[in-house]
Amino acid sequence: MMDRDALTLRNPEQELRQFTGRALTLWVFLALAILLLVLRLFQLQVLEHDRHAARSEKNRIEVQPIAPPRGEIYDRKGRLIAGNLPVFSLMVVKERVDDLEATLALLETLIGLTVEEREAFQGRLVRRRRPLEPVTLRLRLDPEAMARVAVNRHRLPGVEIEAGLLRHYPEGDLLAHAVGSVRRLSEADLQRVDPIAYSATRFIGRLGVEAHYERALHGAVGHERVETDARGRITRTLDRTPPRAGHNLTLHLDRDLQAAAVAALAGRRGAVVALDPRTGGILALASTPSYNPNDFIWGLDAEGYQALQQDRDQPLFNRSVRGQYAPGSTFKPLVALAALTEGVTDWERSLKDPGYYQLPGQSRKYRDWSWTAGNGGGQGVVDLRKAIYRSSNTYFFDLGARLGPEPMASVARAFGLGRDRAVDVFGARSGLVPDGGWKQQAQGQPWYPGDSLNYAIGQGALLVTPLQLATVAATLANRGRPVRPRFLMASDARLPELAPTPLPPLDQFSQADYAGVIDAMEAVVHRGDQRFGENGTAWAYIGQDIPYRMAGKSGTAQVVEIPQGEEYDEDALEERQRKHAWFMAFAPVEAPEIAVAVLVENGGGGSQIAAPVARAVVDAWLLPPDSQVAQVAQQ
Amino acid sequence: MSAADFRRTLSRDDGFDRRQRWLRRLHLDLPLLALVLLTAAYGLVVLYSALDRDWLAFQGQLSRLAVAFVVMLIAAQLNLAMLQRWAPVLYGLGMVMLVLVLLVGVQAKGAQRWLGVPGLPRFQPSELMKLAVPLMVASFLADRPLPPTGKTVAWVLALIAAPALLIGLQPDLGTAILVAAAGFAVLLLSGLFWRWVLLAGLLGLAALPGLWMVMRDYQRQRVLTLLDPESDPLGAGWNIIQSKIAIGSGGLFGKGLFEGTQSHLNFLPESHTDFIIAVLAEELGFLGVLGLLTLYFLLLTRGLYIATQGRDTFARLLAGGLTLTFFTYLFVNVAMVSGLLPVVGVPLPLVSYGGTSALTLLAGFGVLMAVATQPKPLAA
């Protein structure tokens, strides 16, 4: 071989020795190197094992909360008024999206996102969230969009389709102010509620029954320990604690009665509250105009919300429990009870009504509603019964002047005014019962005799809500046994609201006086076919064909003060400065089943405007459905 | 014959002798063959798990390994003298192809590594250089007096640097390191003065800042990531964090075969290729990795032993160089996956999924067997 010759100059033995030496040295070196690797693995796998094992578990196991289905709400006849709609929502877990813009662009081509959806999504994205919390991109996916997303799932990491339940109000705006609504859970809500209990919940009761019974309706959150891969996709469920569904509620509300009340209000701004006087159960609670609570769930855009907020008619304002108005003449029956009890008057005492009242030594004339500038007016000889059915201001001015503020404030409070007596009415206002101390404190002025005159006809500082006035009607219907208004009739939960502590009867007023006041209120509706100026104030409007006995009292609350010597001229006044029309009633008188308060804002005369609404509601409750046609014709 | 073989000869009868002759005729070294088969089998078990029990992919790897074994058997038949003569030709051919790759190569994953010849499977010339470089260097040194003179060393360095640079330009740092390591291994075995090695090491350290300057951004990122993987846990640090978690969570005995959560839930990237030892570590634990490293160590020992028994300097240098190249493979890979070295694309020999590297490796073992079975003139 040719190499052999070259090698003759070399020393093969020495080269072999040298090579063997080198090989041995390198063998030792690589043994040490492998030992280094072994030591490194020992460090990771034995010394630091616990730390890495924990991180590996944290990697793969995720605890996912499961939202409990919200309790359903039914009306007294078992008709669903708040339920849950199964929906499939498109959710995005931002942390798991590689490129958000690209993902949105792809979704755009797949299911066509709207500008609003994108904006709403971006808005939700910047809000504070729990880490890895899915953000809604589209609340309800139709089957086709679902299929398109599902097929492209591998191209859409971080995009999930989530099956869920969404609150739904099948009656739309009909019961909005009574049942209330849920809204998307906000950051502020999370400060108030247990964030763990609400970890899967996206909506919370914000108004009405939904808000008051939030705890019962919400249920208990469930948990699922799932194994996820690096993409966050669930590979299997390890164990599961199912959520506990929220409790169902059955309310005293009657859907049909509510519809009748809303229909009777006929698009005017106003409120109707109907109670069962025996239980205090709220049979109807309407405030018009109303809004559709479903809009808040499906996502109302900023403009839609602003429009609702800035609407002059204030559809979001619940007049029935948050509207506070002077009760006007509807307060007179209570003043009558106070005056009888204080001995300021009796059923026999009468006075001659010149159409106005003057305090001793004062020239100012406190006018009766029948007063006109040309003809002095006046209602002739008036006793207490007539003062109620004819709603004589003059007679009650006299009572007010002689009673002073304290007995009137006391009877008002006894009937539940000036505070929130309701068991479960969310956001109900207290109204205002003034007295001498209040005036000194609030206005820094002493109580003037003139204040007592206004007080006696339900004007001035006295404020009530329609709910409170319905409670007054119910208490009168019960001859002094007060009730606390409540929505809840039954539930599968043992809720304290089911058995509220009863209130003590108002024994300070005699049964004879209750009977007299009720008799006079009956005359308001039924006393007819008399001489001019002798019929009950509401008879002409509702009393002529009424097939049951109803006791009622109208009220007309001034919105602006009419200067001395001037007439109230409805046509000359702006619509919103006209008087508020009130009517309270209960029926049948002998065994009352329903008590109603009606308010029509800027409606004008109570008997003319509010009384027909009250009758329509009572008709709907007491009469069989087919005989209600007559009442519709009257409207 | 090794001492172990000798003992076996004692314990058995002359049947062994016949078998030995038969093996020799086939140019097979039984201990090496057994170790290679054992390691490959062990690797296949791990790979089957790493592939999520994907039978089709597993079969693909099986057939590629079968081809590689055939190549090993063929390589074992090569005549060493012929190999030494053809070494420059092979080397030259490889260099031409490396240049071609840079000019007309096929791009994939941001690097240009493949030559696409119509009608043939894609071919990676850099793989060829893993064999051609030690061959060339061994052939070059075998013709010269050893220990090598400065001039010789300079030539050898040039022979090593040229392909390593071309491969580095693709860019494929992992292969460049392996190719350079193969050349250096031969140089070291040739009796290069230690003081020169030391000097080179110091120079290398001094040159590190310069190296930093020429590194690409992603390469710098890998180095930074090695130093502090937690600084970018979802980006560059992800691989190394997840592989450390996989290894560490395996513990002493592992989570059980197919039970690795890191690997099967896709937390571990490249689990069936470069990071496969993390799967082994997670599922079979420290003991499982120890087993594999032991097999590797026995392979290396046998390789070096064969080298010392080589019939001439060329055979010894070549066998030793190939053995050390194998060591570089496994060391760089294990050190990288366990977070001791920056992430470079080096597969775990005989275990990682992929055909080309298995082919090169087994061809190398074939050459080792050729060295083992071609008798020294003296011993014959």
> Can you tell me the distance from the alpha carbon of A533 to that of A537, in angstroms, rounded to the nearest whole number?
9
Please check whether residue A62 touches B, CB under 8 A: no
Residue of A nearest to B327 (CA): A30
Query: In whole numbers, what is the pLDDT of chain B averaged over residues?
Result: 85
| 3-state secondary structure (DSSP) of residue B308 | helix
Whole-angstrom CA distances from A424 to A193, A252, A271, A325, B201 are 19, 12, 18, 22, 85
Percent of chain B past pLDDT 90, that is, above it, reads 44
Distance separating the N- and C-terminal Cα atoms of chain B:
12
Contact status, residue A253 vs residue A282, Cβ threshold 8 Å: yes
> Can you tell me the distance from the alpha carbon of A150 to that of A161, in angstroms, rounded to the nearest whole number?
8
The answer to whether the CB atoms of A227 and B265 lie below 8 A apart is: yes
In chain A, what residues touch B296 (CB-CB under 8 Å)?
A: 34
Task: Report the gap between the CA of A237 and the closest CA in chain B (Å).
Answer: 14
The answer to whether the CB atoms of B84 and A3 lie below 8 A apart is: yes
Torsion on CA atoms B333, B339, B342, B345, rounded to nearest 10: 30
Q: Does B244 map to a domain? A: yes
Is the pLDDT at A430 greater than 60, yes or no?
yes
Query: In whole numbers, what is the pLDDT of chain A averaged over residues?
Result: 87
Please check whether residue B378 touches A, CB under 8 A: no
If residue A164 lies in a helix (H) or strand (E), which one and from where to where? strand A159-168
The answer to whether the CB atoms of A40 and B324 lie below 8 A apart is: no
Q: Does B246 map to a domain? A: yes
If residue A273 lies in a helix (H) or strand (E), which one and from where to where? strand A270-275
Q: Does B336 map to a domain? A: yes
Residues of A marked active site are found at 329
In chain A, what residues touch B290 (CB-CB under 8 Å)?
A: 38, 41
Least confident window among A78-87, A441-450, B143-152: B143-152
The answer, yes or no, to whether ipTM is higher than 0.85 is: yes
Q: Does B13 map to a domain? A: no
Q: Does B166 map to a domain? A: yes
Please check whether residue A231 touches B, CB under 8 A: yes
Confidence of residue A277 (pLDDT cuts 50, 70, 90): very high
Of A15, A40, A235, the CB nearest to B265: A235
Residue of A nearest to B266 (CA): A230
Structure pTM? 0.67
Is the pLDDT at B9 greater than 70, yes or no?
no
b/e A52-89 (16+ beta carbons within 10 angstroms → b): bbebbeebbeeebbebbbbbbbbbbeeebbbbbeebbb
> What is the C-alpha radius of gyration for chain A, rounded to an integer number of angstroms?
38
> Can you tell me the distance from the alpha carbon of A332 to that of A472, in angstroms, rounded to the nearest whole number?
12
Task: Report the gap between the CA of B241 and the closest CA in chain A (Å).
Answer: 10
Give A455: exposed, middle or buried? Use CB within 10 Å, 0-12, 13-18, 19+.
Answer: buried
DSSP B4-32: HHHHHHHHS-THHHHHHHHHHHTT--HHH
CA A34, B291, B20 angle in degrees (round to 5)? 95
Contact status, residue B304 vs residue B75, Cβ threshold 8 Å: no
The answer to whether the CB atoms of B324 and A30 lie below 8 A apart is: yes
Task: Report the gap between the CA of B304 and the closest CA in chain A (Å).
Answer: 6
**Helix residue ranges per DSSP H, A43-98:** 49-60
In chain A, what residues touch B145 (CB-CB under 8 Å)?
A: 9-10
Of A22, A52, A57, the CB nearest to B188: A22
> Can you tell me the distance from the alpha carbon of A149 to that of A49, in angstroms, rounded to the nearest whole number?
41
Q: Does B291 map to a domain? A: yes
Q: Does B206 map to a domain? A: yes
The answer to whether the CB atoms of A59 and B300 lie below 8 A apart is: no
Cβ of B375: how many Cβ atoms within 10 Å? Answer: 11
Of B265, B286, B313, the CB nearest to A42: B286
Pick from A190, A192, A26: nearest CA to B181: A26
Strand A73-74 versus strand A249-251 pairing type: parallel
Domain hosting residue B57, numbered range: 33-373
Task: Report the gap between the CA of B116 and the closest CA in chain A (Å).
Answer: 30
Structure-token pair, residue A165: 């339940």
Give A627: exposed, middle or buried? Use CB within 10 Å, 0-12, 13-18, 19+.
Answer: exposed
Please check whether residue B318 touches A, CB under 8 A: no
Amino acid at site A47: L
The answer to whether the CB atoms of A44 and B261 lie below 8 A apart is: no
Cβ of A200: how many Cβ atoms within 10 Å? Answer: 18
> Can you tell me the distance from the alpha carbon of A604 to that of A587, in angstroms, rounded to the nearest whole number?
24
Please check whether residue B87 touches A, CB under 8 A: no
Confidence of residue A628 (pLDDT cuts 50, 70, 90): low
DSSP A398-435: HHHHHH-HHHHHHHHHHTTTTS---SS-TT----B---
The answer to whether the CB atoms of B307 and A19 lie below 8 A apart is: yes
pLDDT score for B11: 47
Structure-token pair, residue A413: 């409070």
> Can you tell me the distance from the alpha carbon of A612 to that of A270, in angstroms, rounded to the nearest whole number?
13
Strand A282-288 versus strand A580-587 pairing type: unpaired
Q: Does B71 map to a domain? A: yes
The answer to whether the CB atoms of A3 and B251 lie below 8 A apart is: no
The answer for A 3-22 residues in CB contact with B (under 8 A) is 3, 6-7, 9-10, 12, 15-16, 18-20, 22
The answer for A 537-566 residues in CB contact with B (under 8 A) is none
Residue for token pair 């007439």: A567
pLDDT score for A451: 92
Looking at the structure of chain B, the number of domains it has is 1
pLDDT score for A7: 46
Chain segment A104-147, per-residue pLDDT in tens: 888 888 888 888 888 888 888 877 666 667 888 888 888 888 88
> Can you tell me the distance from the alpha carbon of A433 to that of A415, in angstroms, rounded to the nearest whole number?
11
Is the pLDDT at A229 greater than 80, yes or no?
no
Please check whether residue A60 touches B, CB under 8 A: yes
Whole-angstrom CA distances from A535 to A440, A521, A529, A543, A554 are 41, 12, 7, 10, 14
Structure-token pair, residue B378: 């003296």
For chain A, which domains are there?
Answer: 63-251 (3.90.1310.10), 255-617 (3.40.710.10)
Whole-angstrom CA distances from A420 to A430, A464, A484, B93 are 5, 10, 9, 98
Task: Report the gap between the CA of B265 and the closest CA in chain A (Å).
Answer: 4
> What is the C-alpha radius of gyration for chain B, rounded to an integer number of angstroms?
21
Strand A80-92 versus strand A488-491 pairing type: unpaired
Chain segment B250-306, per-residue pLDDT in tens: 999 998 888 888 888 878 888 888 899 999 999 999 999 999 999 999 999 999 999
